[in-house]
Amino acid sequence: MDESALDEAQTLKNLRTEAGLDIAQLAAMANLSPGQVRQLEEGGDSNFYSPQIKAQSMRRVLRMLHNQPSPQDLWAQSLAEPTPKSVNVIDDIIRLSEKNQHTTLDTSLARRSGNPLKLTLGLGALLVLVFVLLNWQESQTVQQKLFAEWVEPTATKPQEPAPVQAKPSEATATVSEAVSPVVVPAPVVAPVLAPVKESVSDCKQLKAEPTPAAPVSVNKPGTYVYVLASKDMQVCLDDGKRVSSVVNLKAGEGKSIHGASPWVIGAVDMAALQVYFQGAKVLISPDAGQRIVLKEQALNH
């Protein structure tokens, strides 16, 4: 490694150590393999598709570790946080219970001697109360009987009105009003459900013809393609055997797709996609559109 690469590797190792992370933990956080993190610190690029990919991964991991808070900051933040109220409440309850254990007096009623005079007075008051309630209930019954005897003899049966002979038109109207109308239930109409729209992927929107493209230099076979996205996007690939693949990538995420040449690669925004084929980066023209075709070239010996 050159001097700048050695400095970046040593900086990465120091930042990882200060953050208290091992190689496996840092690899999981950075979406890399432990072997790739080890090569970032110790050198080598066999686990990366190309040196450019390794350099991009180094910059991304360093930026992530610079934004990671140090253990000292986390410790200072934990000291600055107030003590939960529930802990103080529990401590107060414990202290109060310990104090009551020393000051509690035995005041159980079972240990007190009974007072005969108080018991006698209480029993007498209870008997008087029962006697008063019985007399009051009997007086209410007598009043109800007297009221019934006073009302029933004077009650007269209401006289029934004499029938009135109505005219034919009035009788018809009276009969029509007396008959309750027949309520016809309204027909139940099934709700009309809107048709469910099928989700259309970005691949169905790519209608333009593919534009030929090729890598700058070749040193690997054309049996796979590596794509790297600079934003969240969907990539559509078709190999020479007409096997279609749809890859959903996050920003900064890359993936290798194996198959047979030639390849047709498409995306809604090709400017946000980097393509590596046969060991080199493919130069995509700004006016290439949304689809490119890659054909395998002979290896340079």
Secondary structure (DSSP) of 56-80: HHHHHHHHHHHTSPPHHHHHHHHHH
Average of per-residue pLDDT values in the chain = 75
Where do the domains of the chain lie?
A: 1-101, 206-294
| Domains 1-101 and 206-294 in one fold | no
Calculated CA dihedral for residues 166, 167, 173, 178, nearest 10 degrees: 30
pLDDT more than 90, % of the chain:
30
Cis-peptide into 212, omega within 30 deg: no
- The CATH H-level (homologous superfamily) assignment of domain 1-101 is lambda repressor-like DNA-binding domains (1.10.260.40)
Inform me whether the pLDDT recorded for 182 exceeds 60. no
User: Who contacts 225 (Cβ-Cβ below 8 Å, separation ≥6)?
Assistant: 237, 256, 257, 259, 263, 265, 275, 276, 277, 294
Greatest mean pLDDT range, 8-22, 76-90, 156-170: 8-22
40-77, pLDDT tens digit by residue?
999 888 999 899 999 999 999 999 988 876 656 656 65
Q: Can you give the pLDDT at residue 84?
A: 47
- Among 13-27, 139-153, 243-257, the minimum mean pLDDT is found in 139-153
Spatial separation of the C-alpha atoms in residues 58 and 55, rounded to whole Å: 5
3-state helix, strand, coil in the chain (%, to 5): 45, 15, 40
Spatial separation of the C-alpha atoms in residues 13 and 87, rounded to whole Å: 40
Calculate helix-pair angle for 51-66, 23-30, nearest 10 degrees: 100
In degrees, rounded to 5, the angle at the alpha carbon of residue 68 between the alpha carbons of residues 67 and 69 is 115
- Among 36-45, 125-134, 202-211, 229-238, the minimum mean pLDDT is found in 202-211
Give me the mean pLDDT over the 197-219 stretch: 70
- State the pLDDT confidence band at 108, using cuts at 50, 70 and 90: very low
Inform me whether the pLDDT recorded for 193 exceeds 60. no
Q: 245 or 1, which is more confident?
A: 245
Inform me whether the pLDDT recorded for 217 exceeds 50. yes
Inform me whether the pLDDT recorded for 177 exceeds 50. no
CATH of 206-294, one of 2.60.40, 3.40.50, 1.10.357, 3.10.50: 2.60.40
Q: Can you give the pLDDT at residue 264?
A: 92
Q: Pick the closest to residue 16 from 44, 38, 33 (CA basis).
A: 38
**Which 3 state secondary structure label does DSSP give 125?**
helix
Looking at the whole model, is its pTM more than 0.75?
no
Inform me whether the pLDDT recorded for 110 exceeds 60. no
- State the pLDDT confidence band at 239, using cuts at 50, 70 and 90: very high
Tokens matching residue 84? 């939960």
Spatial separation of the C-alpha atoms in residues 104 and 60, rounded to whole Å: 68
Q: 196 or 187, which is more confident?
A: 187
Spatial separation of the C-alpha atoms in residues 19 and 26, rounded to whole Å: 10
Residue 267 · residue 235 · CB < 8 Å: yes
